[in-house]
Amino acid sequence: MSTNKFFIAPSPHDYSKDSVKSIMYGVIIALLPALAMSFYYFGLGALITTLVAVVSCMFFEFIIQKYLIKGKITIFDGSAIITGILLAFNVPSNLPWWMVVIGSLVAIGVAKMSFGGLGNNPFNPALVGRVFLLLSYPVQMTSWPKPSNFDFTLGGYTDAVTGATPLGALKTELGKGERTVQDILDKGVDMGGGDIYQFPDYMNQMMGDLGGSLGEVSAIAIIIGGLYMLYRKIITWHVPVAMLGTIFIFAGLLHIAHPDMYADPIFHLMTGGIMLGAVFMATDMVTSPMTPLGMIIFGVGIGLLTVIIRVFGAYPEGVSFAILIMNAFVPLINKGCKPKRFGEKKAAA
Amino acid sequence: MLKTFPKGGIHPAENKFSAGKAIEQLALPKTVSIPISQHIGAPAAPVVNKGDKVVVGQIIAKSSGFVSANIHSSVSGTVSKIDDVMDTSGYRKPCIVIDVEGDEWDSAIDRTAGLNKNITLSQEEIVKKIGDSGIVGLGGATFPSQVKLSIPKGKTADVLILNGVECEPYLTSDHQIMMERGHELMVGTQILMKALNVSKALIGIENNKQDAIDYLKKISADYPGIEVHVLKVQYPQGGEKQLIKALINREVPSGGLPIDVGTVVHNVGTTIAVYEAVQKNKPLFERVVTVTGKSVSKPANFLVRIGTPVNELIEAAGGLPEDTGKVVNGGPMMGKALNSIEVPVTKGTSGILIFNKKDAARNEMQNCIRCAKCVSVCPMGLEPYLLMQLSEKSMWEGVEAEKALDCIECGSCSYKCPSARPLLDYIRLGKSTVSQIIRARNQK
Ligand code: SF4
Ligand code: SF4
């Protein structure tokens, strides 16, 4: 009997069904509700922008892997698709397509592949792409299409109907130092020429009927995606809960202290990129800490920075910057937050 | 809430195909090869020569140190040679090879069937008897049992823990032993309690063996001090440190032993061997082995003489399946892959597990995506991804500082990793290198 035909490998001999692919495609599924809602509010432009971003992310990853690194092609592992979707989610749906392509190149080429590809990048690639675009094309990156229901024409895509975001409108108006928060939120803002911007109510904020980046508007769709990822054990609750909780408390304290100057915490949570950031960007496993305690510190840090930038900074929105700044602290957090070792000798009892 | 250990753990598919299969005596082989090193510690020294006639239960190799164990013949017949034979480690190791003639047992062994409840030996005599009988941990660790019962000065045990967890998927030998030999297990437990001078013993069983739990709970009523405890199905519940934590909520310190927290753990199979040694004068020369696998046609629990070639067990279970890709000695999580099935069963063989080609291959390794799953499943609170990284880069101080030596090699991290990274392989490398470094350091 021939005997040397058996596989010889050290234990364990059994493996779970999880794979990089199953995790990544799980995230993609979780992103679909938010994509559907942005299609509903922003029309075909939302789909086209997303498609352009996904295809260019995969394309750049392919080119880099094939011709620069001459390594394995992993464009179907799902991670480039996620970067593409998230980049698209973080830009206005009517952004010129070539800017989307440039953003993808920065996300994949600079933020991901130059560090050694999946798993080695310290910063969230989609956010790096987004911030690059924001700094390079500040006008286009802050011209928002007005949400409208089921606009199947390409009109919204080519000649933008410029709307405002709640955060932007509030910040600008508050900056003038004439009106109180409540007054602004109730009566709206004059955008010039008698065009009054009315703030969405909580219901519309929840559903996503408000101006903003492509995929960030619908809180409810994002939460559904987040619950799905929790159920699939792709993410844990630590980062989103720590981040959202911090924002709620911090913004709430500011609001209680000076209700005229600072918007209420629900307004903060429901507008801008906080939900998208908390559920999909800050939870990116590659760029977040490894232990529960670390994840909580990370989430709290993002929450604090977000509110500080929004309320005291120059930009109306601060989630992207806050996450990128905390990304930089991840190695330090990992050093400082070790899991509790079993049988650790208690320090001087 | 079911008892369990607090951190980490996994729940692999149980696949207990041979559950409920009555223990069958395997037919005697034509020859046996009995390795002189089947336990942790120094190999035993042969005391028979080529040509000698031996009987079942006769001592053929003597313990050669404090941590070592006697070896007894498992058959009657003639010693044909003492030579190097490939064993389950894949290396050729010294074995006593015996041609089987009949089945004549040492006359001192009590072969009557009745249960002997009456423990007459004293505490010291019990420990000595267990040592003489060559008993080692049958759960797979093969640590000489009398060493565990010889409590160092200054330490005391207040409770005995029996491991009936059988948390390894596929394996069912302990389960079946508990079902078929419950009373012997109880008397064996009383013997161990006497040896340790404790009045309390806890038997931990996972709740996937409800029949064994019910049965042992029922009969334990007649044996004061013995309690059956139900544990959650969670691997590695049977890890010594995890089991102690789950049952009595004490944490064995890093680098320490169970006795440091006042307890000693024995496997249920070992406990029955203790019963046989002490009450029936029968040394350890046979054990129950599960033979199983998805393609195995007749999964079974066999009572096997030590030294029987593994292929005879496989034949009795329906033969080696066509699509066999890997044969493992032990369970899927901690067992060792065999490179030949002509190796002998030893005291540590708890199961023979056959994987088909598809399940045998590992997935292709990918980059670490820092998903932290390895960290969250590690029952010892280690960071496997980090230990692997440090080992890969030969940063041994880091490996030591990050507590690689605490790793119990349960394999949960490698099991869980979505990128199929060989975490435990690298951690083992790190552990052995660090141990060498420490040994060298201590010699200075
Ligand atoms: S590091 Fe060791 S103890 Fe932790 S899961 Fe991996 S094998 Fe088990
Ligand atoms: S489980 Fe694997 S991929 Fe995830 S952090 Fe650990 S080593 Fe990396």
Residue A159 predicted with pLDDT over 50: no
Asked whether residue B368 is assigned to any structural domain, the reply reads no
Distance, in Å, from the CA atom of A344 to the CA atom of B238, rounded to the nearest integer, reads 20
Residue A119: domain span: 20-141
The nearest CA of chain B is from the CA of A345 a distance in Å of 6
Disruptive mutation site among A4, A5, A7 for chain B (greatest number of B CBs within 10 Å): A7
In this prediction, residues A98-118 reach a mean pLDDT of 94
B96 alpha carbon, distance to own chain's centre:
22
Distance, in Å, from the CA atom of A272 to the CA atom of A205, rounded to the nearest integer, reads 10
CATH number of the domain bearing residue B249: 3.40.50.11540
In this prediction, residues A130-151 reach a mean pLDDT of 82
C-alpha triplet B202, B210, B193: angle, nearest 5°: 15
Asked whether residue A204 is assigned to any structural domain, the reply reads no
**Are residues B271 and B188 in contact, defined by beta-carbon separation less than 8 angstroms?**
yes
Asked whether residue A109 is assigned to any structural domain, the reply reads yes
Asked whether residue A311 is assigned to any structural domain, the reply reads no
Distance from the alpha carbon of residue B422 to the mean position of ligand 2, in angstroms: 10
Local structure of B309: helix, strand or coil? strand
Local structure of B26: helix, strand or coil? coil
Q: Which residue from B minimizes the CA distance to A14?
A: B332
Residues B138 and B254 in one domain: yes
In this prediction, residues B71-89 reach a mean pLDDT of 92
Residues B310 and B409 in one domain: no
How many other CB atoms are there within 10 angstroms of residue A65's CB atom? 18
How many other CB atoms are there within 10 angstroms of residue A142's CB atom? 17
**Are residues B60 and B47 in contact, defined by beta-carbon separation less than 8 angstroms?**
yes
Distance from the alpha carbon of residue B385 to the mean position of ligand 1, in angstroms: 10
Distance, in Å, from the CA atom of A305 to the CA atom of A299, rounded to the nearest integer, reads 10
Residues B386 and B350 in one domain: no
Cα–Cα distance list, B339 to A8, A178, B305, B310 (Å) = 6, 83, 21, 12
HSE, side-chain direction, 13 A CA sphere, residue A138: 4
HSE, side-chain direction, 13 A CA sphere, residue A213: 28
In this prediction, residues A93-100 reach a mean pLDDT of 91
Pocket of ligand 2 (CB under 6 A): B 368-374, 384-385, 416-419, 421, 423
Taking 3-state DSSP, the helix, strand and coil percentages for chain B, each rounded to the nearest 5, stand at: 30, 20, 50
Residues B135 and B190 in one domain: yes
Residues B357 and B389 in one domain: no
* CB proximity list for A199: less than 8 A, separation 6 or greater: A166, A169, A170, A184, A185, A188
How many other CB atoms are there within 10 angstroms of residue B83's CB atom? 12
**CA neighbor of B265 nearest in space, from B371, B106, B157, B357:** B157
**CA neighbor of A223 nearest in space, from A3, A34, A14, A48:** A34
**Are residues A146 and A163 in contact, defined by beta-carbon separation less than 8 angstroms?**
yes
Distance from the alpha carbon of residue A87 to the mean position of ligand 1, in angstroms: 37
What is the β-pairing status of strands B336-338 and B324-329?
Answer: antiparallel
Asked whether residue B406 is assigned to any structural domain, the reply reads yes
What is the domain count for chain B? 2
Residues of chain A positioned with their CB less than 8 A from the CB of B380: 341-343
pLDDT at A182: 86
Distance from the alpha carbon of residue B375 to the mean position of ligand 2, in angstroms: 8
- Test site for ligand 2: of B10, B392, B413, B419, most ligand atoms within 8 A of the Cβ: B419
Residues B151 and B265 in one domain: yes
Percent of chain B with pLDDT over 90: 84
Low-confidence winner among A70-74, A100-104, B130-134, B396-400 (lowest mean pLDDT):
A70-74
Asked whether residue A27 is assigned to any structural domain, the reply reads yes
Residues of chain B positioned with their CB less than 8 A from the CB of A19: 363, 418-420
C-alpha triplet B95, B101, B104: angle, nearest 5°: 100
Residues B247 and B195 in one domain: yes
Atom of ligand 1 nearest to the CA of B384: 1
Asked if B337 lies within 8 A of A23 by C-beta distance, the reply is no
Atom of ligand 2 nearest to the CA of B375: 6
Residue B398: domain span: 373-443
Percent of chain B with pLDDT over 70: 100
Asked whether residue B63 is assigned to any structural domain, the reply reads no
Residues of chain A positioned with their CB less than 8 A from the CB of B411: 11-12
Distance, in Å, from the CA atom of A89 to the CA atom of A49, rounded to the nearest integer, reads 9
Residues B204 and B341 in one domain: yes
Q: Give per-residue pLDDT as tens, A226-250.
A: 999 999 999 999 999 999 999 999 9
Q: Which residue from A minimizes the CA distance to B10?
A: A16
For A120, the closest of B355, B363, B367 (CB atoms) is: B367
Asked whether residue B62 is assigned to any structural domain, the reply reads no
**Are residues A111 and A129 in contact, defined by beta-carbon separation less than 8 angstroms?**
yes
Asked whether residue A323 is assigned to any structural domain, the reply reads no
Task: State both tokens at A242.
Answer: 């720590």
Distance, in Å, from the CA atom of A191 to the CA atom of A193, rounded to the nearest integer, reads 7
Residues B207 and B351 in one domain: yes
Asked whether residue A133 is assigned to any structural domain, the reply reads yes
B329, B361, B393 - which closes a domain: B361
Start-end of H helices in B62-181: 123-132, 145-149, 173-180
Asked whether residue B54 is assigned to any structural domain, the reply reads no
What pairs with residue B162 in β-bridges? B203, B266
pLDDT at A155: 47
Residue B331 predicted with pLDDT over 80: yes
B361, B396, B420 - which closes a domain: B361
Asked whether residue B342 is assigned to any structural domain, the reply reads yes
B341, B361, B381 - which closes a domain: B361
Local structure of B173: helix, strand or coil? helix
The nearest CA of chain A is from the CA of B222 a distance in Å of 36
Asked whether residue B357 is assigned to any structural domain, the reply reads yes
Residue A3 predicted with pLDDT over 60: no
Distance from the alpha carbon of residue B414 to the mean position of ligand 1, in angstroms: 8
Residues of chain B positioned with their CB less than 8 A from the CB of A331: none
Residue A160 predicted with pLDDT over 60: no
Asked whether residue A132 is assigned to any structural domain, the reply reads yes
Q: Give per-residue pLDDT as tens, B153-210.
A: 889 999 999 999 999 999 999 999 999 999 999 999 999 999 999 999 999 999 999 9
Residue B224 predicted with pLDDT over 80: yes
Low-confidence winner among A30-39, A310-319, B387-396 (lowest mean pLDDT):
A310-319
Residue A252 predicted with pLDDT over 80: yes
pLDDT at A167: 86
Q: Give CB contacts under 8 A, 24+ apart, made by A246-251.
A: A246/A299, A246/A300, A246/A302, A246/A303, A246/A304, A246/A307, A247/A274, A247/A303, A247/A306, A247/A307, A250/A303, A250/A304, A250/A307, A251/A307, A251/A311
DSSP state letter for A66? I
pLDDT at A149: 58
The nearest CA of chain B is from the CA of A46 a distance in Å of 29
Residues of chain A positioned with their CB less than 8 A from the CB of B367: 116-120
Residues B225 and B275 in one domain: yes
Low-confidence winner among A164-168, A259-263, B6-10, B219-223 (lowest mean pLDDT):
A164-168
HSE, side-chain direction, 13 A CA sphere, residue A155: 9
Residues B282 and B389 in one domain: no
Start-end of H helices in A97-237: 97-105, 125-136, 138-141, 155-158, 166-175, 181-187, 202-207, 219-231
In this prediction, residues A42-61 reach a mean pLDDT of 93
pLDDT at A2: 46
Chains A, B: CB contacts under 8 A, how many? 168
Residues B146 and B238 in one domain: yes
If you take atom 7 of ligand 2, which residue's CA is the nearest one?
B385
Asked whether residue B89 is assigned to any structural domain, the reply reads no
What is the amino acid identity at position A51? L
Complex-level ipTM: 0.88
